Amino acid sequence: MGKPLVAILSGAGISTDSGIPDYRGPNGLWRRDPEAEKLVTYEYYMGDPEIRRRSWRMRRENGALRAEPNAAHRAVAELERSGVPVRVITQNVDGLHQLAGTSARKVLELHGTAREFLCTLCHTRGPMADALERLEAGEDDPRCRECGGILKSATVMFGERLDPMVLGQAMAVTKACQVFIAVGSSLQVQPAAGLAGLAADHGARLIIVNADPTPYDDQADEVIREPIGTALPGCWPT
């Protein structure tokens, strides 16, 4: 028999050790500053130039693109290198799984990526670093150089649908895997959270690694509350 297919659903908790804040936790950004949620809400962003300027300032100042992978990201990359078939389904937009060495083609980014910008009109994409350079040069609401359209990060904002192709791939992986590990996710944001239940329904061994209880703990074969960086390697199939 071949090695089991392992699907890893990663949430904000896997990246907090890299200095990227959790948005929904007790000290999360949305709890501390409800106004900040407008900066990543599509309707407000598209309709209000001041919201866009604040949003671009936040991107320039928050330093998320300077974050480095931590032990948990490296553990996932190491699992792939060991020859185990791995697919990562991530709710994060930080790109740290790929930076740690996991093959980009094996990472499904449900909520897009903060490492690229996207034109809302002609859908041109490019490196976020290029857009931030324009901010440093004095632009406060950079427009698309191809068509003049409004630029945003290539992330799924509140009020936008997930990419149906990415979600479809994530569901296919979830149904096919033998082991499903949900790590650092509150499992409260649908449709991503529902993948844990879908995996269990299709016979996968469900392992949840998270500091706080989740709505899917009672369906899990194993619930681990230890720090993610040390807990993850212990989850790997041998």
> Cα 225 to the chain's mean position, in Å?
21
- Kindly name the residue from 73, 111, 123, 202 that is annotated as catalytic: 111
111 is catalytic: yes
Q: What amino acid positions are annotated as catalytic residues?
A: 111
